[in-house]
């Protein structure tokens, strides 16, 4: 009988445990189910009571997995959904757009970025359709994300959407002020000083593009350093057969360098000393010296090459980069490279000739002029402040025309309008573009200096530079 009683008690205890588990499951089910919170597909809808008489329904995109919307609180309200519902429509779009762009910048490679840009593009199209203007903060993030793709066509499409949105006002704003080179030499144009001159008259009054022989200069400097290094090694090792010759040659090079660069100072000092002691000593005239000695030409290439090798000037570099960025932006070029080059510009020009390309056609008198001004803007900036070009390269502009001439299989001969006049026409085109670049920088020096300061900080992005130009 005791055994039966124990078996019955065990059975009753198991039955009680089972019933308690069922009650807990039902209570938990009812606790997590609430008519005010339900899901449909990948959308979660949350109803929250704004006040006693009003109920606001807000939609939160995303998956319920991962805790995007939690209903664990007693009043079954999501803090995320409530915060999102408190924003107006413009702020909601800005938050989503900024988040999408931040994800692109953090997680994707170049190829993945091009594919991931589809979501921001669709969102911008929807904002334009609903007439929702994006804020400067979200546009900065969008431009930075697009630049990460390193694709001029993608940048052109995105900038077009931003213009339609109304968030940009300075992109391409100065295109109408660009003065292209007239095809007829007798055509009169309005000059910056207000006068009207023919093409030939204005070209005669323009400054020449600075000459750059950096290849020759660097080679000369490396040759001098190599020779000096060999002489020093032999002198240090005390090789009796060679040391006298190396020491003599090294001393001769030093004397030539001093005479070539400081002959005027030596001649002036000699005249003063001869007058004071009455010796009448006089050095030969500089023009009579062999190999143009005393003019700086003989050793100038070595000194300029040494200057290129040892010059590290961040401010100077940032000024050149700021000039190139500003020129590209205000002329509507969808390529914000801080250091423009002939190859990149040639690819952009060829891409613009395709029928499906979103880039405005650049293979025209105005289009080529814009690209040349962009390439020569760093040269104009550096030459206005320094006697020697170190950070910028004027050869890139001529390199663009040469690369386009080599693409005869992709371009039509009539599109290469500068080839009709030969090398003289090409030189006039480059000289004209250099003058336009110099004029652009002088008229907008304050904005360019501000961009340069942003770049010098070391933390500026393309979006930050755009913010300076747009005044955000």
Q: What confidence score (pLDDT) does residue 318 get?
A: 94
Q: What confidence score (pLDDT) does residue 431 get?
A: 95
Structure confidence by residue, pLDDT tens digits, 162-216: 999 998 999 999 998 888 899 888 888 888 888 899 999 999 999 999 988 888 8
* Nearest residue to 141 (alpha-carbon basis) of 89, 102, 90: 102
Structure confidence by residue, pLDDT tens digits, 34-63: 333 333 333 333 333 334 333 333 333 444
Q: Which residue stretches of 278-352 are H helix?
A: 297-310, 314-330, 342-352
Strands 43-49 vs 196-198: parallel, antiparallel or unpaired? unpaired
User: Collapsing DSSP states into helix, strand and coil, what is residue 241?
Assistant: coil
Phi–psi pair at 348, nearest 5 degrees: -65, -40
Q: How many residues in total does the chain contain?
A: 472
Query: Which 8-state DSSP code applies to residue 290?
Result: G
User: Collapsing DSSP states into helix, strand and coil, what is residue 388?
Assistant: coil
Average pLDDT of the residues of the chain: 80
* Nearest residue to 155 (alpha-carbon basis) of 348, 318, 322, 363: 348
State how far the alpha carbon of 37 is from the alpha carbons of 51, 62, 113, 440, in Å.
18, 15, 35, 60
How many CB atoms lie under 10 A from the CB of residue 435? 23
> Average pLDDT for residues 345-374, to the nearest whole number?
91
> Average pLDDT for residues 281-287, to the nearest whole number?
79
Confidence band of 67 (pLDDT split at 50, 70, 90): very low
Nearby residues of 270 by Cβ (< 8 Å), 6 or more positions away? 281, 282, 283
Give 227 or 382, the one with higher predicted confidence: 382
* Nearest residue to 270 (alpha-carbon basis) of 261, 258, 283: 283
Nearby residues of 442 by Cβ (< 8 Å), 6 or more positions away? 384
Q: What confidence score (pLDDT) does residue 439 get?
A: 94
- Listed range (114-128, 192-206, 258-272) with the worst mean pLDDT: 258-272
Percentage of residues of the chain with pLDDT beyond 70: 82
First to last CA, the chain: 91
Structure confidence by residue, pLDDT tens digits, 313-356: 899 999 999 999 999 999 999 887 678 999 999 999 999 988 88
State how far the alpha carbon of 299 is from the alpha carbons of 155, 253, 285, 288, 405, in Å.
47, 9, 19, 18, 37
Phi-psi region of 356 (alpha: psi -120 to 50; beta: other; left: phi over 0): alpha
* Nearest residue to 167 (alpha-carbon basis) of 158, 180, 156: 158
């Amino acid at each position: 009988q005791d055994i039966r009683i124990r078996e019955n008690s065990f059975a009753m205890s198991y039955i009680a445990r089972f019933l308690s588990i069922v009650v807990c499951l039902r209570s938990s089910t009812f606790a997590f189910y609430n008519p005010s919170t339900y899901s449909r597909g990948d959308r979660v809808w949350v109803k929250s009571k704004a006040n006693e008489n009003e109920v606001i329904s807000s939609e939160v995109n995303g998956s319920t997995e991962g805790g995007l919307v939690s209903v664990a609180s007693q009043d079954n309200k999501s803090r995320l959904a409530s915060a999102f519902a408190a924003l107006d429509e413009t702020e909601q779009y800005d938050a989503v757009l900024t988040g999408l762009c931040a994800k692109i910048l953090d997680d994707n490679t170049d190829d993945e970025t091009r594919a991931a840009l589809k979501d921001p593009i669709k969102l911008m199209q929807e904002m334009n359709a609903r007439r929702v203007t994006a804020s400067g903060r979200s546009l900065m993030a969008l431009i930075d994300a697009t630049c990460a793709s390193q694709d001029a066509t993608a940048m052109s499409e995105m900038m077009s959407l931003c213009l339609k949105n109304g968030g940009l006002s300075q992109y391409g704003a100065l295109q109408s002020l660009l003065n292209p080179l007239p095809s007829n030499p007798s055509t009169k144009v309005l000059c910056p000083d207000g006068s009207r001159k023919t093409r030939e008259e204005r070209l005669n009054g323009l400054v020449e593009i600075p000459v750059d022989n950096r290849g020759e200069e660097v080679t000369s400097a490396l040759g001098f350093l190599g020779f000096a290094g060999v002489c020093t090694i032999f002198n240090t090792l005390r090789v009796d057969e060679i040391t006298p010759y190396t020491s003599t040659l090294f001393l001769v090079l030093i004397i030539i360098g001093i005479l070539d660069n400081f002959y005027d100072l030596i001649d002036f000092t000699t005249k003063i000393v001869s007058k004071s002691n009455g010796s009448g000593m006089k050095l030969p005239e500089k023009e009579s010296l062999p190999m143009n000695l005393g003019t700086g030409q003989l050793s100038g290439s070595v000194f300029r090459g040494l200057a290129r090798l040892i010059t590290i000037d961040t401010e100077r570099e940032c000024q050149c980069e700021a000039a190139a960025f500003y020129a590209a932006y205000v002329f509507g070029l969808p390529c914000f490279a801080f250091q423009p080059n002939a190859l990149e510009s040639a690819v952009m020009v060829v891409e613009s000739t395709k029928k499906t390309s979103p880039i405005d056609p650049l293979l025209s008198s105005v289009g080529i002029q814009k690209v040349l001004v962009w390439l020569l803007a760093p040269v104009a900036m550096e030459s206005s402040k320094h006697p020697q070009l170190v950070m910028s390269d004027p050869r890139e502009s001529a390199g663009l025309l040469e690369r386009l001439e080599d693409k005869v299989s992709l371009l039509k001969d009539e599109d290469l309008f500068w080839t009709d006049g030969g090398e003289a026409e090409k030189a006039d085109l480059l000289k004209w573009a250099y003058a336009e670049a110099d004029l652009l920088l002088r008229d907008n020096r304050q904005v360019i200096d501000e961009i340069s300061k942003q770049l010098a900080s070391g933390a500026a992005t393309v979006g930050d530079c755009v913010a300076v130009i747009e005044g955000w």
